[in-house]
Every structure is written in structure tokens, then in C-alpha cells.
Amino acid sequence: MDNLRIIATAYDEENSCEYIRIDENFKTSFRKTIDGIKNASSIAKIKGGYAVAEESVDNGKLYLLDDNFQIKECIETGVKGIVYLDYDAKNNVIYGGGYTDGAFFTLKNWKLKVYRKDKSSIHCIKFMDNHVYVVNCEDDSVYVYNSKFEFCSKVEFPSGSKPRHIAFNGNNAYVICENSNEIYAFTIGSRGALTLIEKHKTYEG
């Protein structure tokens, strides 16, 4: 497997942000303290370095770091509670989602675009094969957009199930729901559409 990247922080503590890389044997292969960032919530490997989100209930920040983990730029996004970042390497686009206000954003060529919708709380945003998958746990849905953030389709889950994360493996996608303790398996079709194959409980009882 690829190295697993983790960003860890002690909430509200200055200079407590650490980047940790885990190898295929689940051993720590690299560890680095990143000064100047507080309440880091997500990290993404980008061209020429890293992007790190700083969670804030008022104005989430996006830090761009070089390969030596030195801060090159700090961008105030206006998005509250950024909890997830992803990166489209082909088009050099950073995607981010906010849990507190439900907004999501793109950063391309230093241009920030913020998208907002009603009844929204974004817990995960993932780019895959020219489509963006936005997991909205507020209205129990996963929204599918193209790379220009034009709406393509959505999948609705039972009310109150609270989908949290989406992961991909080949032509399949998997969504885990927090409240219902279920994993949903989908095939990925035309324009990124998700078609349900099966679902399973994460525990018996």
C-alpha cells in the first residue's frame, strides 16, 4: 500500500501540529512537527509540497507548504470547520469541505472559489476520475459533481443514517454511515453515478 499520511494536532495548542507517515508495515516512517499551524484537520500531498487545513468555527485557513514543510502561503477561505482536503493532480486543484457551515471550495492557480448550499454539513470530499464526491451528513446524501463543480447526480441514504466517508477501489465506491453503522457498496457508472450493489452492518447485534 502507499504510505498513509496523518495530520495530528492538540486542539487549540500552538505548534502542536505533526505530520506522520505510516509505511506498509504500519510503522512510523517519518515524523515532522509543523510550526505555525493550530487545529490542523486534514492534509493533502500536492504539487511541490502539501496543503494543510486549519479548522476554525469562524474562518478556516488553508496553508500551502513546500516539501520541507515550510509555510509558503496562508489563505483565509471563509469556510467554517474545514475537515477534509483532496487534490486533483492532473488539473492542480485542491478541494476542501466544511463541516460547520457545509460549504466546499476549490483552489486553482491561486484562485479560491467557495460553493454553498442549504442544509449542508460536509464531512468528506473526494476527487476520483474527473468527478468530485461530496458527502453531506446533514441531508444524508452523497453528491456527485464534475471537475467544474457542475451537478451530475446524488445518492440519498435513509434519514438519520449520517454518511461520513467515501472510499474507492477500482470501479467501486464505499460509503460508511455513522448513525446506522452500515457500509454501502456501489459501482461507478457514467458521469460518476453511483449504483448500489449491497450494504452491510459494521457489527452484528
pLDDT tens, position by position, 130-170? 999 999 999 999 999 998 889 999 999 999 999 999 999 99
The residue ranking higher by pLDDT, 194 or 33, is 194
pLDDT at 4: 79
Task: Report the relative pairing of strands 104-108 and 111-115 from DSSP bridges.
Answer: antiparallel
43 DSSP 8-state letter: E
Give dist(CA 100, CA 121) in Å, integer.
Answer: 6
DSSP category for residue 3: P
Q: How many residues does the chain have?
A: 205
Q: Which three cell numbers stand for residue 51?
A: 496543503
> What tens digit of pLDDT does each residue of 9-59 get?
766 676 678 888 888 888 888 888 888 888 888 899 999 999 999 888 788
pLDDT, residue 188, reads 97
- Can you give the pTM of this predicted structure? 0.89
Rounded CA-CA distance 83/94 in Å is: 13
1 has pLDDT over 60? no
